[in-house]
Structure 1
Amino acid sequence: MAGLALCERPAAATDATEVGAAAFDAARERWVRLLAGGEYNTAYTDQTQAIEGSANAVLRKLKPTAGRPSLWPDLPLDDPRTGNFNRAYNRMRTLALGWATPGTAMHGDRQVAEVAAGALDFLYEHAYHEGFDPRGSNWYWWEIGVPRSLTDTCALLYDGLPKDGLKRWLRPLRRWCPDPERRVSHPGVVETGANRAGKAMAVAMRGLLTHDARLLKRARNAVSDLLRPTRGPGDGFYRDGSFIQHDVYPYNGSYGVDYLESVARLIAMLARSPWEISDVGEVYDIVDRSFVPFVFDGLMMDCVRGRSISRQGHRDHHSGQKTVEAMLNLLEAAPERHAKRWRPLVKGWLTRNTAVPYDTVAPLSSIAKARALLDDPSVPVGPRTTGTYVFADMDRVVHRRPTWACAIAMSSRRTGAAEAMNRENLHGWYTGDGMTYLYTGDLTHWNDDLWPTIDPYRLPGTTVDVRKRANLQHGHRRLPPTPWAGGTALDGEYGVAAMRLIADGSSLRAKKAWFLLDDAVIALGAGITASDGRRVETVVENRNTHDGHPPLARGDRWIHLPGVAGYVLLDGPAAQVIRKERTGRWSDIDKGATTGGDDTPVTRHYTTIVLDHGVDPRQARYAYAVLPDACAAQTAAYGLRVRILANSGTVQAISRGDLLAAVFWRAGRVETPHGTLAADGPCTLLARRDDRRVRLAVSDPSRTADEVKITLPWPVKSVKEKDRGVRRAKRAIKVEVGGSRGHTRTAVVAI
C-alpha cells in the first residue's frame, strides 16, 4: 500500500496552467448543479424543504467528542468494522447538499461551512487518514464509499472551504483510491463494472478539486474501457443485455444501475471540457439492451437487483429513479435515433408511475429535466415496452405485454442462485430457483414491504421441499451443478424458458418449463422427485394484497384474483389457497453494518396458491396457466385454448392454434395436432405456422450440443431466411448451436 501511495507523485505544477483553472472549475460546477440543482429550485419547494430538513437534522445532532471519538453520539468512530465512519461521511454529504442547494435557509451560510470544515478535520484525524489500519473492515468503505461521499462533500462546499484543508482531507484518497482499475486492499484484483465506475467518479472529482489533469485522464480512460461488451465469463455487460457482477450474479438493477449512473454523470460533468469522454456511442446501446427491458413504469425489476432486494432503503423505485436520471442526463447529447425513442419511453414511465412519483426520490436537477419532458407537448406519452427477451448470459427471461410483464429468474453452474454478502439477503434461498416476477397495474406489489413479509419458502414459480433453513452466510455462493437454464424467443411475442432444478441441500430434482404467450404464462413441471422425508410443493402465486384480502372467484380447477390474474390448473394436484396476514421486520433479512433494516414490525396480507406434491414424490408433475389481467369469465374458459402435448423428463410441449412450443431435455419426439415434432438433442424451440411458412426459433440452454436436427410436423421445402448456422437437411432443419452460448438461432422455412 505504501508503494502505491508513493508512486503517485504530486501533479506537475503545469497541469492547471496548461489546461486552465477555469476548465477544472467549470466541470466541478457542472457536477454541483447535477447534485444541487440551480435557480429553478424555487419551483420545487417540497423537495428543497426536504433537503433542508435532512441537512438541519445532521447539523442539529452534531456533537464532536474526542474521548471515544464521534461526531454524532450514535456513530462512535473507534472501530472501523462497524462502518460508522462511512455513515459519518454520508451525513457530511447530506449537510453539504443542504448548504449548496439554492432555496434552502442555509444556502451559502458561512457559519455552516465553518462547522462542516471542523467536522471534516475531525474525521480526518479520527476516522479516515492515509495512515490508518482498516482492521478487517469492508474494503468498499475505504476505496469507494468514503471517497465518493467525501469528494461530493468537498465539491458541494468548495466555495466555503479553506483550500489547505481541502488538500489535507483529500490526501487519504492517494492511498485508498489512487487508480479506478486496481483494488488497494487486494492488489491482484482488477476492478470491473460498478466498482470501477464508482472509483472513476472519485478519482475524477479529486482531479477537479485539486486541478490535477492526470487524474481526470485516468478516470476517463478507465470508464472508456467499461463501455466495451464482454464475452465472459465473469463481470461486465454482454451483447445480449446481461450484466454480471461478482463473477456469477445478474445485477443490472443494482451494480449495473450504479455503473450507469456514474458513467452518465461523468459524461455530463466532463462534457465540453479537455477531458470529455468522446467515444460513448456504446453506452446508449447498453441502456437499450441492459436496462430498458427491466424497467416497468419506472420500477426496476427485482429479478436483477440481487441482494439489494433486502435493503429497506433501496427498493425498485430507487433503482428505477437512477435509471431515469441517467437517461435524462444522457439525452442531452444522445444520437437522434436513441433520443427519438427515449423521450416518449421515459415520459411514459413518469406519467404512469403515480404510486412512487419521480419527484419524491430524484435529485432536483433531474426533477427539472423530468418536468421539462413532461411539459413538452411535442413528446408523446410512450406505451410500455413489449417483447420477449432472453438473457442467456445470466439465465433471465423477461416477457412483456402491453398491460403486464413476467420475469423468470433461473440459475445454473454459470449463474449464481442467490448472493448473500455483508449480512444482506439472509432469506434469499429461492430467488434464483425459477422464481416468477409478475408485474401488473399494481405498481406497489414489490416495493410495499414485500421482502420482509412474504413467506420466503413460498416464492412464486418455485418448487421446494418444506424445511427450516438457516440464514444465508456471508460469501455464500451456490452454483447449481447443471448447465440447463435458458430459453428462446420468437418475433418478440412468444418465449420458452426452462431450467433443471437441483435443489440446495436437498435431494429434490425437477424439470421446469415456462411457455410465454401473448395472453398467458403456461408453467409445466415434470420429474419432481425427492427422498428426504419432506413434503414438496410448487408455488403458483404468493401475492401481496397489502392491507386486506380481496374477494376470490373460484371454479372447477381455476381461481381468479381481481386486479391481478386468473390461475388455471391444467394438470397435476388440486390447488390450495392460503390467505394470511404476515408480519416481518427488515432487520430479519438485512443486518448489514451500513444497510441493515430497522426492527419495526410491518404486516401485509397475502394470497398464496400452492400445489402439494406430497412427501417424497416420485416423478410428480404439474401444469398451470397464469392469465394476467384476465377477468373471471376468461379464466374459467381458458383451459380449452391451450393443449398440453407432453410433460415428461424428455419433452415438455404445448400447442395453441398455429404455435408449437417445446423443451427437449434430450432427443425425443412429440405428437402435435399437425404431425410429429422431433429433435435429436437438447433444445428449446418455438415454431409458428403462417400459411405456407413457418417461423422457427431454437436454442440449446444446456450448451452441450454442437448441432440439433429439428423435424417439424410439416416437410421443409426450403429455407427463406436464416441466422448463421441454420440449414435445411432433407425435409428437416439443422441448427448449429455449439459455441452459441445458449443464444437463439432463427429461420423462416417454406413448407
Structure 2
Amino acid sequence: MEISRRQLLSALSAAGLVAVIPSEPASAAEVAEGSARLLANTVAVFAGTVESNARPETAAKLAAIDTAARTNLTLMDGAGADELFAGLVLGTDEANLNTAFRWLYEIALATRTPGGPASGLYENTVVQRRVIDGLGWLHERYYGDQATGYYGNWHHWEIGLSQHISKTLALLADEVKAYRPDLIRTYVVSMDAYLRNGVDGDVNLDSRFHTGANLADITTNRILQGALLGDDVRIRKALTDQLTVFVTIDPYHLNHGVTDGHYADGSFIQHASVAYTGSYGKALLTRVVQTLKILDGTGFAHGGELVPTVHGWVRNGFAPLIFEGWMMEIVKGRAVARTDTGYTDVAVVVEAIVDLASLTTGADATALKSYVKYIRSTSRTALDPAGFVSPVSIVRYADIIGDATVPPADLNPASRSVAFNAMDRTVHRRPGYAFALARSSDRISKYEYMSGENLMPWFQGEGAYYLYLSGQDQTQAYGVDYFTTVSPYGLAGVTAPVERRRTIPELYGKPYYDNPGHPLNFTSSSESQNTYVYFPRGTHRHSGGAVLGAYGVAGMVQSDDVAHRDKGAGLLPDDFVAYRNARATKSWFLLDEEIVVLAAGVGDSAGRAVTTTVDARTAAPDDQVSVTGMLRDGSPWTGPGLGDLRWLRYANATQRTAVGYVFLDTPPVRITLDRVTRSRRVVRTANPDTAVTRTVLGVTVEHARGAQPTRLAYALVPNAGEAGLRSYLHDGPLKVLANTPRLQAVTHTGLGLTAANSFTPGIHEAPGMRMRIDGPASVIVRRERRGLTTVAVSDPTMHRDTVSVLLPGRPLREVTSDDGVRVRATHGGTRLDFDTHHAYGRSFRVTLRGWA
C-alpha cells in the first residue's frame, strides 16, 4: 500500500529517522573510523577494487579510465602560461571551468584504480600531486573569489563543480592531507560559499533549487566533504536533508512547498511541474543508490531501511516507462533533443538496479536481478556495461547475467495500463507494443526547453503520443532523429495551428528571455523564466484518466499556456512573444488490440487553419516501407494525397513492424511519405551539425481556415494486418457512442467494456452507454460473463470531492470496493458515489454482482 508524504514524513521524523540515522552522536574515534570507511567506499565505487578489477569484464572500463587520464595529462603538458589544460579557456565560461575540474578528477581516478593498464598511473604520487597542484591553481585563479565567480548557470557552481572537486579530494584524501593539508578546508569553505540558494552555506529545503535530484547531488557532495573533514555534524545534517527525497509527495500537504519527487502513482516531477522520470529521475535514482553504497558499514546511517522505497520507485515508476530497453520519450523533458537518450538512459537505470539488488536479499533481490536479465534479453541494442560508473557494478552485472538460476522476468505484467496522473502521463502496454501519451494541464508543463535544448518543443504536451512496436530498434523510430525530421507541428497525436513559430534563440538572440528590469525580473534562472519560457503550464485543469485492470481511459482539454494568458492580461513585457494554441477536447481509450482516439471541438478561436496528426512515423531511408489502404466507398487507396479513407496500413518490412489506422468518423485524411534530411542541431544548439535522413510518414487531418470546429474518431491498431483492418468495417465490436466537447465515449462489445470521459459539470449520458455520469469524470465499466460488473472512476480535474455514476436497470449488489466508494439502490438503478476528495486522480474501483 502506498503511503502519503505526510504519513512518511511523520514516520521519518519519529521512528524512521531513528532507524536510518543513529540518534546518538558518535565518538571522535567512531567518526574517524566511519569517515575513513566512507572514503574507502567512495574509492571502491568509482575506481573499483583489486578483486573487481581482476575480472576480465572490467578490462574495457579500466582501459577507458586510463586513456582519459593520459589524454588529460597530455593536455596539461601542452598548457600555456595561463592555462591548466591546453586550449581550455577559463574565466568567462563556467562550462569550461567544470571541464577543467572534471579532467582533474579523471586523472585522480586513474591513480586510484587498481588493475588497470600498465601505464604507471596507479598510486603514482607525482601525478597525484600534479592534480592537487591543479586544484590549488584553479582555486587561486578562477574559483576562490566568489565575488567574481558564479557567472552563467547556477547548477555548475552549486552542484557540478562541487561534485568533481569533492570526488577528487575523496580519491586523493591521504595525499592531499600529506602534501597540502589546508586544501580540503579551503575548498569546503568555498563550496559552501557557492551555495547561494542555500542558507549560511548549507542546504535550504525551502529553495526551489534544492529539491529532488538536485538536492540528492548537493547532499551527497556534502557527505563526502564531511568525511574529508571528519565532521559528524555535517554528515548527519546532509543525510537528514537527503532523506526528504525518499518521501512520497503528498500534493495536499507539501513539505517546504516542494512538488519535486516521487508520487504515489509512480510519477516523478522535477522543476516543480515537469514529468521527468527519464532524466532527473534516473539521476536521483543513481545518486541515492551511490549514497547507500558509500554509507555501507560506516555507522552514519542504516541504508537498508531505505532500500524498499527505492525498489518501489523501480517497480512502479521506471519499469512501466521502459520498453524493450528503451526509455520512453514522454518523461525526458528537454533531454529528448540529446543524441544519447533511449537505450543509454536505461543503461544508467540498470546499473542502479544491479547495485540495488546487492543491497537487498530474498525475493526482492531475485526480482531485481530477473528484471536486469529481462531488459538485456529484450533490448534491441546491446547494453555495454563498460559505460557503467563503477567497475564493481560491472562485475555484479556479469554475475547476474551469468547466473542460470535467475530467470529473465519483467517487473511489468504482460498487459498493463498505467495512469501517471500526477505528471499527466499515460502508458499502455501489451505483448507486441507500448503506447505512451503526454498530456498537460494547469499543474503540469506543456514542454521543457532550456539552455538551447529542445528548441521546438511547443506541442510535446498537447496529447503527443508514441507507439513503440516490439522487435524494432527504437532509434529508427524515435529518439533525437524523430524530433529532427518530424515537423514540430506534426508530432503524432497533436492538434496545432498552421503557423511558423520561432525558437527562443531566434526570438531573443540568446537561450533565454533577458529583461531583469521588468517587475517579473527575467534572468536566466529566475522563476519568471521558468514559468513563461522554460516549462510553461497549461491553463485548463482537465487532464487525467482512469484504469480498470489492464484497460485505461484518458482525457484532456487543450488550452493556451500561461504565457499567452498573461500576455493578454498585460502582465508580460511588450517584446515578450507568446503563442496561441488551437482548441480540442480529446480522449484516448486503451484496449487490447486498439487505441481509440476521439477529438471534438477541433479548431481555432482565432480562425486559423489547424492540422491534427493521426500519426507520424520514421524509418531509415533504405527500409522497405509500404502504405496500403481502402477508401470509404470500398475502392483501394492508390497513393499519397488526400483521401476519404476507411483504413490505412503502414508497414516496415525491414523492421518487421506494422501499424493500422481505422477511421471511424473522420474527415478526409492526407497521407504523405517524404524523405526528410535535417541537421540534429535544429533541435539542440549543442548537437553536432550532423545531417540525418529519414523516411517520414504523415497521416493528418486538415481543418480549414475559418471553419467551424470539427470532430474525428480513429483507432490505432498496432501490428495490424490488412485482413484484420477490413474486419472493422463489418459491424465490428468497436463503436463510438459520443464525441462532443461535453462527452466522449466508446464501447467494445467483445470486451464487454464501455468507457467515457465527461468534461463539463452536469449529468452526461448517450444512447448505448448504459450509464449516467455526474461530470466531469473518467469512467470505465466492464460487464463480465459471470454476472459481475466492475467500475473504475477517476476525477481528471483533481478538484472534485465526489463523483457519481448511475447504472440503470435492476439494482446490483456490492461484492468488493475500494475505500471511499458507496453503493446504493435507487429508483431506476444503482448509484455509485466515489469520494475523490484529495485523491489526486487516483482510480476508485467497485465490483458488483448482477446485470446492469
Taking structure 1 as the reference length, the TM-score comes to: 0.91
Aligned to 2:12: none
Q: Counterpart in 2 of 1:510? A: 584
Amino acid at match of 1:277: H
Change in 2 beyond 3 A, CA 1:110/1:266? same
Tell me, yes or no, if structure 1 residue 189 matches structure 2 residue 207: yes
Residue 26, structure 1, aligned to residue 42, structure 2: no
1:76-133 residue CA offsets vs partner (Å, 9 max, x unmatched)? 11214x4211122222233333333332333333443233233222222222225443
User: Contact (CA 8 Å) 2:596, 2:714: kept in 1 or not?
Assistant: yes
Indicate the SS of the match to 1:552: strand
Please say if 1:306 is aligned against 2:333: yes
Partner Cα distance (2:726, 2:40) in 1: 62
Partner of 2:696: 606
CA distance in 2, matches of 1:291, 1:482: 28
Which residue is 2:241 aligned to? 222
SS in 1 for 2:294: helix
CA distance in 2: counterparts of 1:508 and 1:186, whole angstroms: 43
Corresponding residue for 1:724?
Answer: 819
What is the CA-CA distance between 1:510 and the residue it aligns to? Answer: 0.4
Q: Measured at CA, do residues 99 and 699 of structure 1 come closer, stay the same or move farther in structure 2, by a change above 3 Å?
A: same
| Contact kept? 1:203, 1:215, Cα under 8 Å | yes
The one-letter code of the counterpart of 2:798 is R
Q: Match for 2:820: what amino acid?
A: G
- CA shift in 2, pair 1:186/1:197, >3 Å: closer
Provide the C-alpha distance between the structure 2 equivalents of 1:548 and 1:224, rounded to a whole number of angstroms.
51
Matching residue's letter, 2:149: P
Superposed CA offset, 1:572-627 (max 9, x none):
12332222233333433333xxxx22223333332222222222342211112112
After superposition, residues 38-53 of structure 1 pair within 5 angstroms as: 38=49, 39-41=51-53, 42-44=55-57, 45-53=59-67
2:701 aligned with 1:689: no
Q: Do the aligned partners of residues 48 and 359 (structure 1) sit closer, same or farther apart at CA in structure 2, a change above 3 Å counting?
A: same
Aligned: 1:624 with 2:653: no
Shift in Å, 1:469: 0.9
Q: What is the CA–CA distance in structure 1 between the aligned matches of 2:202 and 2:490, rounded to whole Å? A: 40
Q: Is the 8 A contact 1:180 1:196 kept in 2?
A: no
Q: Is 1:207 aligned to 2:226, yes or no?
A: yes
Q: Does 1:705 pair with 2:804?
A: no
Partner Cα distance (1:651, 1:242) in 2: 27
**2:375 — aligned with what?**
349
User: Distance in 2 between the 1:383 and 1:124 partners?
Assistant: 49
Q: Which moved more, 1:120-129 or 1:506-515?
A: 120-129
| Structure 1 range deviating more: 709-718 or 173-182 | 173-182
Note the C-alpha offset of 1:162.
Answer: 5.4
Offset at residue 457 of structure 1 (A): 1.9
Q: Which runs of 5+ in 1 are unaligned?
A: 1-13
Q: 1:201 to 1:643 in 2, by over 3 A?
A: same
Q: Does 2:365 match 1:339?
A: yes
2:438 touches 2:460 (CA, 8 Å); kept in 1?
yes
- Unpaired segments ≥5 residues, structure 2: 1-24, 505-510, 513-528, 562-578, 631-646
Say if 1:139 and 1:185, in contact at 8 Å, map to a contact too. Answer: no
Q: CA deviation at 1:436?
A: 0.6
Equivalent residue, structure 1, for 2:292: 267
Whichever residue aligns with residue 721 of structure 2, its letter is: C
Contact 1:404 1:439 in 2 (8 A): yes
- 1:454 corresponds to 2:455: no
In structure 2, the partner of 1:405 is 434
Equivalent residue, structure 2, for 1:239: 264
Going from structure 1 to structure 2, the CA distance change for 1:219 and 1:704 (only over 3 Å counts) comes to: closer
Question: How far apart are residue 422 of structure 1 and its match?
Answer: 2.4
Q: Please state how far the C-alpha of 1:480 moved relative to its aligned partner.
A: 1.3
Partner of 2:70: 56
Which segment is superposed worse, 116-125 or 521-530? 116-125
Distance 1:155 1:299 in 2: 34
Deviations 1:500-546 (A, max 9, x none): 01145225210011001122211111111214453211112222213
Residues 536 and 616 in structure 1, CA contact (< 8 A), matched pair in contact too: no
Q: What letter corresponds to residue 497 of structure 2 in structure 1?
A: D
- How far apart are the structure 2 equivalents of 1:74 and 1:587? 24
TM-score, normalised with respect to structure 2:
0.81
- Looking at structure 2, the residues matched to 624 and 225 of structure 1 have their Cα atoms a distance apart, in angstroms, of 45
1:282 Cα deviation after fit:
2.5
Aligned mates of 1:573, 1:185 — CA distance in 2: 60
Instruction: Name the CA distance, whole Å, in 2 between partners of 1:336 and 1:497.
Output: 37
Matches of 1:427 and 1:549 in 2, distance apart? 27
CA distance in structure 2 between the aligned counterparts of 1:27 and 1:125, rounded to whole angstroms: 29
**Per-residue CA distance 1:358-400 (angstroms, 9 max, x = gap):** 3253233222211111111111011472311111211111111
Shift of 1:324: 1.4
Equivalenced residue count is 729
User: Aligned with 1:94: secondary structure?
Assistant: helix
Match of 1:737 in 2: 836
- 1:646 and 2:646 matched: no
SS at 1:240's partner residue? coil
1:285 corresponds to which letter in structure 2?
A: G
| 2:173 is the alignment partner of 1:150 | no
Is 1:70 paired with 2:165?
A: no
Farther-moved stretch of structure 1 (381-390 vs 462-471): 381-390
Matched, 1:137 2:152: yes
Whole-Å separation in 1 of the counterparts to 2:483 and 2:456: 9
Whole-angstrom CA distance in 2 between matches of 1:450 and 1:553: 19
| 1:707 Cα offset (Å) | 2.3
1:525 aligns to 2:591 (yes or no): no
1:634 paired with 2:735, answer no
1:623-657 residue CA offsets vs partner (Å, 9 max, x unmatched): 12112233343234345341111111121111112
Residue 606 to residue 51, structure 1, CA distance change in 2 (3 Å):
farther
CA distance in 1, matches of 2:491, 2:202: 38
Give the equivalent residue in structure 2 for 1:748: 847
State the alpha-carbon separation in 2 of the partners of residues 157 and 575 from structure 1.
65
Distance 1:165 1:582 in 2: 58
Task: Indicate whether 1:382 and 2:409 are aligned.
Answer: yes
Residue of structure 2 aligned with 1:318, choices 330, 344, 358: 344
Instruction: Tell me, in whole angstroms, the C-alpha distance in 2 between the residues paired with 1:434 and 1:344.
Output: 34
SS at match of 2:467: strand
Other-structure match for 2:747: 655
> 544-553 or 523-532: which moved more?
544-553
Residue 676 of structure 1 pairs with residue 676 of structure 2: no
Instruction: Note the alpha carbon deviations across 1:214-273, whole angstroms, 9 max, x for none.
Output: 222122212222211121262222111122211111111211211111111111110121
Q: Matched residues in 1 for 2:136 and 2:538: separation?
A: 50
The CA distance in 1 between the partners of 2:336 and 2:834, in whole Å, is: 39
State the one-letter code of the partner of 1:239.
Answer: A
